[in-house]
A and B are shown apart, each in its own frame.
Chain A
């Protein structure tokens, strides 16, 4: 009796081995397990057997049926995998071809540098103040202890707007210092602010443009002295230039709105035309600073016998040029696409001290 099962098994196995396509395999399945299939026939035949015979026979046929079903599934998996491989092979594309283009935008180095400055001074408790580009004489000069006819006014190469009926003429602010005045006149001390923005001087050559940007710092309270000024600037320069050791040198100087006044040099080294910021054998002038002049405090209604503090100012282009190796000031304002791509910064390069004051990469570099 078992021989007939072996015959069926052999016949199906042979057919299975020859089935090369899913269609052929389906035909084998129908021949074995379909309504008229050989195994289905064996199952039907068992109804004629005696119960004791039927049990043994049933176990054998069921085992055969399970084996065949498993073999069919296995063969089907192989054929399906082969068919998929063939299909995918036919779908091959040239992945070395270029992807769809996207235009990468970028931030101007001035914007990026301003964000860096903000991030650094925020950590020292400064907030950002602002004022208009078109200033009156009082805020730009007089309140800053630069009375009319003061020789310092001649230092400023001021742009003037037309005189009004009363003969007074407004100016394009020559520095961000008028924001000091606006801050001190609008709020009560203590003050700890920076101001950044456009400033204007009637000067144009290799190293001057008629418009440039400045950052101004102002601290007014009852105790801040020149030691704090030094500490503040050292911390700022170390963070901005990302250096552990930033030698600075304060040189006495003169500004009408500070007393004592100083110019601040940062250590550097020069090799040929290459300039490296940090400890070196040379100095580079980087900003002007000092203790706010008592006359300026008094002009703003602050009692100079009670309050004191420091102020500083520097050129933002200069900072950007030193940090990012930009050689020519004039190129900042030319909207030259090549330059913007070369020196620009990605939109997501948001500086912060915690995540890095400098960007991780530019747009095209």
Chain B
């Protein structure tokens, strides 16, 4: 919302500076978006009088002018075609910064003639594109006076942004009232209209609403003004509208715009000559159409507030008028409308039809019901003043809603909520200045909100007004600490897992990425068929239209971009949501990651190798371990979702039903869809499925440290197994052969090929025996070895390789 300083001062008696007033607005909660003070930028420019203009001795196109500054006469060389004797010009003297170029003007010599200044074009001053010549000011402009004032730019324009709860700030008077309450001046009284009614209105108005819809337009008033002569509005009105960015149209229309901006009182004018009978205010019916003032034709739905006559819909109440009854230069009789439209219905209509207008903007935020009739009269008076004619008696249909009930502000409540002592009489003063009907009561203050406020419903709202006008800066900060206790752990188990998994994966050389929670349909479909409930109804683009089934959907796209940039070998991870359905339980917390390309760059010591499924397995295990999963007791099965390589992927399970993680090579067709070549391995760990530790304090203490004093013994075994036997089966069997003695079993060789018959493989393990009671003897070792061989044979059908 824009207004000028002079405009504000029509409502506010003040001697405060513009900066002061700007700070005042800010401290009251009115955000100052900008101040365009062109007088400040143009301060070095003054009005000059060209006393003489002679041909430059050395240049055909230049003239040497003597220019009176009011204090002296200086010589200026000028190339403008209109530089001539006896015009008034905008003069820049050395030291002035030219707005268009940002260059500081210096004294110069042009073709051997000294130039002590510059006469400016509109473009040079940043006032437009006109560069055909220098600006010529009216001849009666005072020499030496500020050019800004002479150009009509002396009045600074203030642009404020108004919060949606304060419709009353969408009029200059509302802002002035607020500043006055804040101590920045005195609110001037509003002139009362004393326009006599010349005749009885020939036009009637009916409100035609059924039941609850009556609130769509509770009050609708008109005055008919006949004998008007419409035309351009006077300069003061045009200047004012232009200053705040509105285009003057005609006196009748400009008056309505002025009242909207000045008093937040939207009005509408119909050309009475184009009306067909009385006005009816009603709800629209589906399919009715309106050719609106913006040149577009709208098809209406049921339930929009319209003003109609015998010919049909004329206007969308509180949103926009129609073209057929718009006022023109030929209008001689005008119907001036001042009404009250329901905020919600107005907003809905505007949104459905995508019409933004100053009227809609105000009605959907709240227009003061009490301004309906005074606004009508004041506008009618101004129309008569500007366009002549005489006004009818008002025709009023409906009535303003009842005034709001009083709210009590308890004496202590400001201190309780605000943490600051403000005396009751100060609260009373502030609320009164804001327009409340406030008086002392036994509890504190009894306050009736003013009709222009629609945001005051309860005591807290009064507290805010008092605190705000008194100044938030006066509230003393109070240290905010824990009372006599040490901080407690702040994270839930899942939050802790997320954090620990991130740091564990980063420590393993993966870079953490954060990607969008939504993805495009084609890539999403590679991973899962997401239910309809996870497709956005209004996506920002097709690329971001489905809630992702895995972070990998976007992570792989990131990896592909990195590879395309020349980073063939790298790893990424993301710990974030994956969505199964639209419930809270359907949101999984997943640690996902990938590795593409080689383990590292070529190096003279270490030959790089391609990323493989076991890298992904190690990543998954690391994330699980960091997140507190019982990694020692997980089962590994050779299955995984379809987007994995079916033969090179696995699942880490906690029991047969709970899959905690998948890992392995990405399915080549998925990799191809991302345009990724070479090895791509991925993992997914479902952090939210890891069971929580049982009790808060259980398991902190570790068992007593009791190292065995006896030497451990290692024995190697090579087994000949069917190629289909899994390492997990072998290791499990060996470990279980003698649980008391066998401390560890490790896999150190797998061989298929020459020397091993086809369909078989040779697998070598190392078994570490740790005796607890006595050093192992050879026969004892032999006995355990037999157990290992027997257990493996039983579980796998394999035998010791001879």
Interfacial residues, chain A to chain B (CB-CB below 8 A): 97-108, 110-111, 115, 118, 121-128, 130-134, 149, 151-152, 154-155, 159-164, 169-170, 172, 194, 198, 200, 202-204, 210-211, 225-228, 230-232, 234-235, 249-254, 259-263, 291, 293-294, 308, 332-338, 340-341, 344, 346-348, 350
Contact = CB atoms under 8 A, between A and B. Distances in A.
A263 B30 CA distance: 11
B577 A308 contact: no
Contact of B577 (A103, A133, A260, A337): A133
Nearest to B587: A132
Contacts of B204: none
A346 B419 CA distance: 43
A111 to B, nearest CB: 5
Nearest to A125: B482
Contact of A230 (B163, B478, B504, B600): B478
B490 A226 contact: no
B424 to A, nearest CB: 18
Contact of A105 (B477, B510, B516, B606): B510
B164 A155 contact: yes
Interface string B525-555: 0000000111111111100100100000011
Contacts of A334: 558, 561
Nearest to A124: B480
B535 A103 contact: no
B511 interface: yes
A121 to B, nearest CB: 7
A149 B351 CA distance: 11
The 7 closest A-B pairs by CB, nearest first: A335-B558, A252-B29, A227-B419, A103-B509, A260-B464, A254-B163, A225-B419
Interface stretch (B293-301, B306-314, B566-574, B663-671): B566-574
Nearest to B27: A251
B464 A340 contact: no
Contacts of A251: 26-27, 29, 31, 472
Contact of B513 (A108, A134, A234): A108
Contact of A261 (B365, B464, B510, B511): B464
A210 B542 CA distance: 13
A252 B478 CA distance: 19
A110 B583 CA distance: 25
A105 B502 CA distance: 10
Contact of A341 (B365, B510, B511): B511
22 contacts: A100-B606, A102-B509, A102-B600, A103-B599, A134-B582, A159-B538, A160-B536, A172-B536, A202-B540, A211-B517, A225-B415, A227-B419, A235-B479, A250-B473, A251-B27, A254-B163, A254-B165, A262-B472, A336-B561, A340-B511, A340-B512, A350-B503
Nearest to A285: B31
B605 interface: yes
Contacts of A163: 537
B376 to A, nearest CB: 26
Interface in B491-519: 491-492, 494-495, 499, 502-518
A44 B528 CA distance: 99
Given A121-B490, A226-B419, A227-B420, 12 more contacts: A105-B507, A122-B487, A125-B488, A133-B579, A159-B538, A169-B537, A202-B540, A210-B518, A225-B419, A232-B480, A335-B557, A344-B511
Contacts of A253: 29, 31, 163
Contacts of B775: none
Interface stretch (B119-127, B218-226, B270-278, B455-463): B455-463
A152 B499 CA distance: 35
A151 B600 contact: no
A128 to B, nearest CB: 5
B724 interface: no
Nearest to A119: B490
B562 A210 contact: no
Contacts of A103: 509-510, 570-571, 599-600
A118 B490 contact: yes
A227 B534 contact: no
Contacts of A164: 533
Nearest to B28: A252
A291 B540 contact: no
B364 interface: yes
B536 A111 contact: no
Contacts of B516: 210-211, 333
Contacts of B370: none
B517 A200 contact: yes
Contact of B503 (A107, A169, A259): A107
B480 A118 contact: no
Contact of B603 (A101, A115, A161): A101
Contacts of B399: none
Highest count of chain B CB atoms <10 Å: which of A103, A228, A291, A308? A103
B468 interface: yes
A149 B504 contact: no
Contacts of A226: 417-420, 467, 472, 475
Contacts of A230: 419, 475-478
A344 B364 CA distance: 46
Contacts of A100: 603, 605-606
A128 B513 contact: no
A99 B604 CA distance: 9
A249 B476 CA distance: 12
Contacts of A252: 27-29, 464, 467-468, 472
A104 B509 contact: yes
B698 interface: no
Given A103-B600, A133-B517, A259-B461, A124 B481 contact: yes
Contact of A227 (B468, B477, B601): B477
A255 to B, nearest CB: 9
Nearest to A110: B514
A335 B572 contact: yes
A350 B502 CA distance: 11
B536 A159 contact: yes
Contact of B512 (A107, A160, A232): A107
A337 B480 contact: no
Contacts of B554: 335
A301 to B, nearest CB: 18
B559 interface: yes
Contacts of B479: 231, 235
Interface string B375-412: 00000000000000000000000000000000000000
B582 A170 contact: yes
Given A107-B502, A128-B490, A162-B537, A254 B164 contact: yes
B348 interface: yes
B416 A250 contact: no
A67 to B, nearest CB: 46
Nearest to B485: A125
Contacts of B27: 251-252
Highest count of chain A CB atoms <10 Å: which of B476, B478, B554, B571? B478
Nearest to B478: A227
B538 to A, nearest CB: 6
B353 interface: no
Contacts of A101: 600-601, 603, 606
B723 interface: no
B20 to A, nearest CB: 16
Highest count of chain B CB atoms <10 Å: which of A133, A172, A228, A252? A252
A105 B508 contact: yes
Given A121-B490, A134-B579, A105 B460 contact: no
A252 B512 CA distance: 39
A124 B482 contact: yes
B587 A133 contact: yes
A128 B29 contact: no
B480 A235 contact: yes
Contacts of B418: 225-227, 260
